[in-house]
Amino acid sequence: MTAQVATGRRSVAELKALVAQAQADSADWTADDVAAWTAAHFAGRVAVACSMAGDSVVPHLIARHLPGVDVLFLQTGYHFAETIETRDSLARNAPVTIVDVLPKQTVASQDAQYGAKLHDREPTLCCQLRKVDPINETLAGYEAWVTGVRREDNALRANTALVEWDEGHQMVKINPIAAWSFDELLDYATTHSVPTNPLLTQGYPSIGCAPCTRPVAPGEDPRAGRWAGLAKTECGLHVQADEPPITLETTFVS
Ligand code: SF4
């Protein structure tokens, strides 16, 4: 399959109006309701961002309503083998279009310019080069993106809305499993035979690049294993996650 191409991008005001209406209507929405809403309003205009960790259920959830949906996977060059295997399994078994998003530089060329193991010395720069810049460039071709962000991930994500306006990307951000627990996520994967990253049940409830991810102890913050020992907790893709939701009243305020 080839990537879907969004054409005729709607205005920011139109997109914000959709968000405001969804926020007004979505108090009782299930994840499947969010997926149905996504298909109704964004067919051919939306991509699912998937790290092939716990969020591998999200492409399946959306594809039930939007078969062939684009699934963006950041090929950082630093993934666990299990993560790549999950990506390959999802590509074989789910009706989705995997779009590998590549950084401008290979790991070798980045090492040549910045020195080896930039992730140990300047992880924010490394994430910028290998994740944030490439995904931002790719997302510019869509009106909306779907994520696997969940409120229980950490305190910064505790107020995540099912549908929100992403001010940084100037697009709609859809978080269908925001309210799910880790167990609900695993239950969905089992019920629907969705490939999941085996590391999830080996002490890695949150999985990023191998050099920046360690297992966590029972009861620890699920994301405590990401950039452990550093002040960094997010790669930068979800900087707008704690923005207050826009309202119908503010929809057309510039
Ligand atoms: Fe680099 Fe680590 Fe960020 Fe991956 S998670 S892009 S290796 S700093």
Q: What CA–CA distance (Å, rounded) separates 169 from 191?
A: 34
User: What are residue 71's DSSP bridge partners?
Assistant: 48, 98
Indicate the helix (H) or strand (E) that contains 145: strand 144-146
Q: Could you tell me the CA-to-CA distances from 108 to 69, 78, 100, 117, 126 in Å, in that order?
A: 32, 11, 19, 10, 13
- Interface ipTM: 0.99
Q: Is 235 a catalytic residue?
A: yes
Q: 49: helix, coil or strand?
A: strand
Is 50 marked within a binding site?
no
Closest CA to 233 of 141, 175, 130, 156: 156
Contact 147, 157 (CB under 8 A): no
Q: Give the pLDDT confidence of 194-236 residue by residue, as tens digits.
A: 999 999 999 998 899 999 999 988 888 877 778 776 666 677 7
Contact 117, 126 (CB under 8 A): no
The whole-model pTM stands at 0.88
Residue nearest to atom 5 of ligand 1 (CA): 209
Q: Give the pLDDT confidence of 119-151 residue by residue, as tens digits.
A: 999 999 999 999 999 999 999 999 999 999 999
Point out the catalytic residue in the list 57, 63, 129, 235.
235
Q: Give residue limits of the domains in the chain.
A: 12-238
Closest CA to 169 of 254, 80, 239, 98: 239
Residue nearest to atom 4 of ligand 1 (CA): 209
| CATH fold of the domain at 12-238 | Rossmann fold (3.40.50)
Q: Give the pLDDT confidence of 145-174 residue by residue, as tens digits.
A: 999 999 998 888 899 999 999 999 999 999
Q: Which atom of ligand 1 is nearest to the CA of 123?
A: 8
> What pLDDT shows up at residue 212?
93
Contact 171, 139 (CB under 8 A): yes
